[in-house]
Structure 1
Amino acid sequence: MKVDFWQISRDPAPKVVALIAQRVMDAGERLLVVSSDAAQRDAISRELWKAGPESFLANGDASAPGAERQPILLSAVPDPVNGASHVIFADGEYRESTGFARAFLLFDEATVQAARAIWKSLDDAEGLERAFFRQDGGKWIKVA
């Protein structure tokens, strides 16, 4: 599994989730977005829907009927009922999970210490590849 650490500085989490979600959808994969904050999940959903009529990113809540059919599912827990191969932890809290090809941990200044601890805790994880991305102006740069 790949775990990407994305340090948010300029853009808010919903905008970064939409950027990653577009890439995941372009690759023909499904996505699970996890946040324990219901207000954040709502903001992410709005950002995904407003991408535009040609490129809106259809999404739904894990507790709603038909959740298994959603290409992008928003949830408080990392349970990919939609068969997602990718997961974004949008609230800065990493959760142990299996079955995903790739995980994205979004963190900001408030959660940077926790992200460092998670990075370190994954040092000896077998079969795990890590990467660290930082926002530089409007571009994302791979730092490690």
Structure 2
Amino acid sequence: MQVDFYHLTAMPLDRALPKIVEKVIGSGARLLIVSEDAGQRTGLDRLLWNYAPDSFLPHAQLGAGDDRAQPVLIAPDVNAANGARFIALVDGIWRDEALDFDRAFHFFDEDAIRAARAAWKGLGDRDGIERRYWKQNEAGRWEQAA
């Protein structure tokens, strides 16, 4: 199981997340995006439809149609009704249920850094979990820091 911690500093979530979504879909995998915040979920729904003029990232919010058919599902909690094996926690809150997936992406900003550090430390004591910490350099590119 792999957990990627993405510390958002120079690049906001709305620029970082679509790149991850593209890679997951491109690999043929499915993704669950989790946020407790209804406003954030609605914003992400709009973002994934039109973040770039030449893009199409097929997705839906949980309960908006046939959840099982969606390559990307946006939900308020860890409910992989689409059969996703990848999960993106985008509201800065770590959830241990993410460990039931093959890979987790944990996005957090400065407001959630203390909780992210606690999650990082807590996962370090568990067998079978590979942790990677990504931060942005001065040019805004992601670099693996740990």
Per-residue deviation, 1:65 = 2.3
Aligned counterpart, 2:130: 129
Normalised TM-score (structure 1): 0.94
Aligned counterpart, 1:118: 119
Greater mean deviation of Cα atoms: 122-131 or 96-105: 96-105
SS at match of 1:63: coil
1:4 aligns with 2:30: no
Amino acid at match of 1:117: A
1:142 paired residue among 126, 141, 144:
144
Inter-partner Cα distance in structure 2 for 1:143 and 1:36:
28
Moved over 4 A (4+): none
Within 5 Å, give how 1:56-95 maps onto structure 2: 56-95=56-95
Per-residue deviation, 1:109 = 0.5
**How many residues are paired up?**
144
Inter-partner Cα distance in structure 1 for 2:119 and 2:100:
19
Does the 8 A contact of 1:21 with 1:31 survive in 2?
yes
SS at match of 1:78: coil
Per-residue deviation, 1:53 = 5.8
Per-residue deviation, 1:38 = 0.8
Q: Percent identity?
A: 39
Aligned counterpart, 1:102: 103
SS at match of 1:87: strand
Inter-partner Cα distance in structure 1 for 2:68 and 2:53:
23
Amino acid at match of 1:109: E
Inter-partner Cα distance in structure 1 for 2:141 and 2:52:
21
